Structure 1
Amino acid sequence: MTAHTLNLESVVELSDDQFYLLCRRNPDLRFERSAQGDLIIMSPTGSETGNRNIELGADLVIWNRRTKLGYCFDSDSGFKLPNGANRAPDLSWIRKERYETLSKPERKKFAPICPDFVMELMSPSDELRVVQAKMAEYIENGAKLGWLINPEAKQVEIYRPGRDKELLEMPQTLSGEEVLPGFELDLGFMWEE
């Protein structure tokens, strides 16, 4: 996915409602907004990345249906982070008791909450430093666990609050730790060629 960033400073300031409307009126594009107000425009992913995303998401959804501990979200779900950024992780999850504090109107738009868990899956056109900065931003805004999966490098970076990121080479599984208790993600298929 190719991303383009528009610096809107001194040109236009989009309200939350205007940003939401912009996203709804342009369904073929994915938008994010940085904490500084820059508009990030992304094209849809390729089929390989889309397939990997749904495979990974299916495991999380199955675990969540069994445990009923929270709510799962795909890459079309946007969130308004505490720092003002609007982000849409490839996969995310929020504890039930946190999500249910949001009002129905807040849930219908870009929920003003940072997910407890976020995952980003690198696609061939992503810039590693940009995605790493997003992962750090999620943690700084309240995420408890983050996974950056990089199929090309055959690596996973794990992000946690108050700790340095951990780099794993071709892990076969990832543990949801205490954030996603009992969840293990099978990554064996990710490293096959």
Structure 2
Amino acid sequence: MVLIDFQNDFCSPEVAGDGPPTNTNNAATALRANEFAREAAELGARVVYTQQVLDLDRLTERQRRWERADGLCAAGSWGAELFIPPVPGSDVVVKDRFDSWQSESFVEFLSANDIDGLVICGVELVCCVLYAILGASERGYHYLVPSDLVSGQDFGDETDNRAVRDFLRFNQPDRLVESADILARWREAART
């Protein structure tokens, strides 16, 4: 299964407001990932987009203490909308927080569809992607992270996003691959 996580608040260069854009890396990554998802779907892979929707009523009391109703990906906002249109035949699963594993809908979707492996694509390595990786690992899922289909805001390559890339490179090098390699394997499998 291909897991895609790209929303306007994290990808659109327009989010920067008056300052310089900080999401151009994320926008480019989202477009590459959607092309990958399209090709993967054509090869028979299941594609799921997760969409964070901040609804204070769905958070715990502790979580509500630290959130504002108009925060990132607020319910009904433009920022909560997917940055890229889902590919035909894909599914969209809503999550309440950065961590998709906290979403009952996400976990139920994996179980109902007998999903055992994930290809994790997304932006903001330090939150959504990292939580997806750690959650998959903790729950015993097979997973791969295409290094060209994960990103962070433009200034993040020298900060926390680099730390997550280093974690993958040094701690889980067998999980970090290029998207072209995944598609090549799937094309080969489809021929046999």
TM-score under structure 2 normalisation? 0.37
Point out the structure with the larger helix share.
Answer: 2
Point out the structure with the larger strand share.
Answer: 1
TM-score under structure 1 normalisation? 0.37
